[in-house]
Amino acid sequence: MKINKEGYKIIFITGIICLLIWGFIYHLLNNREDVGVMWLSAIVLVMFWFFIVSFFREPRRVKIHDADLVFAPCDGRVVVTELVTDDEYFGNREVMQISIFMSITNVHMNWFPVGGIVKYFKYHPGRFLVAWHPKSSTENERTTTVVETEKGHEILFRQIAGVVARRIVSYMKVGNAVKQNDVCGFIKFGSRIDLLIPKESELLVEIGDPVVGTQTPLARLK
């Protein structure tokens, strides 16, 4: 299993903390007959550490390229499909919003849903509301990225921090040429991504659908 570079530090620190906790428990119970408690605590701490390691797993997936499709930029479940107006980039123009919620058990790598040129990028400091809260799209810590495709479609997507996710990593730079389904960032521990696409696009998913990053087409551009 390959581990994403964003997890190295957290995995190392978590391992040290687990060792210290077990050392304290061992010292506390060393002169007693609670051997079972020591073994149980060791198993629980090891399982917790492996959970942290697995959270930063980097899956190997076949890259699919289709300029007419918008692919899922992350693993998770669709929680919003609706027409909205956006005043950050689209000047209150009506667009289609697709939101995907990532639980702490999902792979948290993020990929470009389309290929093209990065036209806009901005980091927004903010709050840490639960990621499925409607106001998380505008009030939580987040990044906003817009990629213009070869056919002139502008696709906006936001990495949104949640109540647990408090560290967004983005590899975006305005002017960069990016390929569809290449890695674009990482969100640590539970979060959400919003996509804003042209409203005339053909929607290919519904609320509640599970999606797999780089593999599940969300919409067809027209």
The total number of residues written for the chain in this structure: 222
Task: Examine the residue annotation and report whether 191 is marked as an active-site residue of this protein.
Answer: yes
- For the chain, list the strands marked E by DSSP: 69-71, 76-86, 93-102, 109-111, 116-124, 142-148, 154-161, 168-170, 177-178, 183-187, 191-198, 202-203, 210-211, 217-220
- Quote the DSSP letter at residue 25: H
What number of other Cβ atoms are within 10 A of residue 111's Cβ? 22
Helix (H) or strand (E) holding 55: helix 35-55
Identified catalytic residue from 136, 137, 191, 201: 191
Residues that are catalytic: 191
